[in-house]
């Protein structure tokens, strides 16, 4: 494993894939990284779907305009059930999306650590997905993660970063 800060800085969204197969043991490691994520009150309200068969991947592809995911042989989807997630009493904020987002972040960093590329995809039609896979209706669907070999350099968006003073407040 790389130094964590090195890994976090080296990761970038990959939207060009070589379409290589992902060995079973690497799929397992990516799932393990997701399962190791912390969740509020340890409620673990999330579910990870693994789209592997051609039919499943084609169905998923029909739910998003992000056609660059097509060559990826494995695509994860992650959501969380609001009724199983903790709700902060002060403002009634339900944290299902936060829990799912931490799971996705763990998985995304593991994918990169294994030498593959991915992009967190939030732009997909959750209603269309629920039509194809009704069980997803019970979840707040937070993201898709295609996994494949990296076939592109970081985009200009990756390097466009606000300054430290715009993002950090010291009190």
Ligand X SMILES: Cc1cc2nc3c(=O)[nH]c(=O)nc-3n(C[C@H](O)[C@H](O)[C@H](O)COP(=O)(O)O)c2cc1C
| Residues 6 or more apart in contact with residue 143 via CB below 8 angstroms | 77, 78, 100, 101, 104, 120, 121, 122
| Residues 6 or more apart in contact with residue 106 via CB below 8 angstroms | 33, 34, 36, 37
Task: Closer to ligand X by CB, 24 or 71: give it.
Answer: 71
Using CB under 6 A as the binding rule, whether residue 13 contacts ligand X is answered as: yes
Using CB under 6 A as the binding rule, whether residue 120 contacts ligand X is answered as: yes
Using CB under 6 A as the binding rule, whether residue 164 contacts ligand X is answered as: no
CB of 25 to ligand X, least distance (A): 26
CB of 91 to ligand X, least distance (A): 21
Using DSSP bridges, classify how beta strands 93-94 and 46-51 pair: parallel, antiparallel or unpaired. unpaired
Question: Of the ranges 28-36, 38-46, 50-58, 155-163, which one interacts with ligand X (CB under 6 A)?
Answer: 155-163
φ and ψ at residue 91, rounded to 5 degrees = -130, 10
Among 9, 88, 93, 123, binds ligand X (CB under 6 A): 123
Task: Closer to ligand X by CB, 23 or 127: give it.
Answer: 127
Element (H, E) at 28: helix 24-35
CA distance 165 to 163: 5
Binding site for ligand X (CB under 6 A): 12-13, 15, 66, 119-123, 154-155, 157-158
């Amino acid at each position: 494993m790389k130094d964590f800060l090195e890994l976090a800085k080296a990761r970038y969204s990959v939207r060009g894939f070589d379409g290589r197969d992902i060995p079973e043991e690497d799929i397992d490691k990516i799932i393990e990284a997701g399962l190791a994520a912390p969740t509020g009150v340890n409620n673990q309200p999330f579910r990870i779907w693994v789209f592997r068969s051609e039919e499943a991947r084609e169905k998923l592809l029909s739910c998003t305009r992000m056609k660059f995911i097509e060559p990826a042989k494995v695509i994860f989807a992650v959501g969380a059930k609001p009724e199983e997630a903790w709700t902060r009493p002060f403002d009634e904020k339900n944290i299902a999306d936060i829990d799912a987002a931490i799971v996705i972040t763990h998985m995304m960093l593991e994918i990169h650590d294994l030498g593959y590329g991915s992009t967190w995809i939030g732009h997909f039609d959750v209603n269309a997905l629920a039509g194809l896979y009704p069980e997803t209706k019970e979840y707040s669907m937070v993201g898709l993660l295609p996994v494949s070999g990296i076939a592109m350099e970081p985009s200009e968006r990756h390097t466009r970063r606000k300054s430290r003073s715009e993002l950090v407040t010291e009190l």
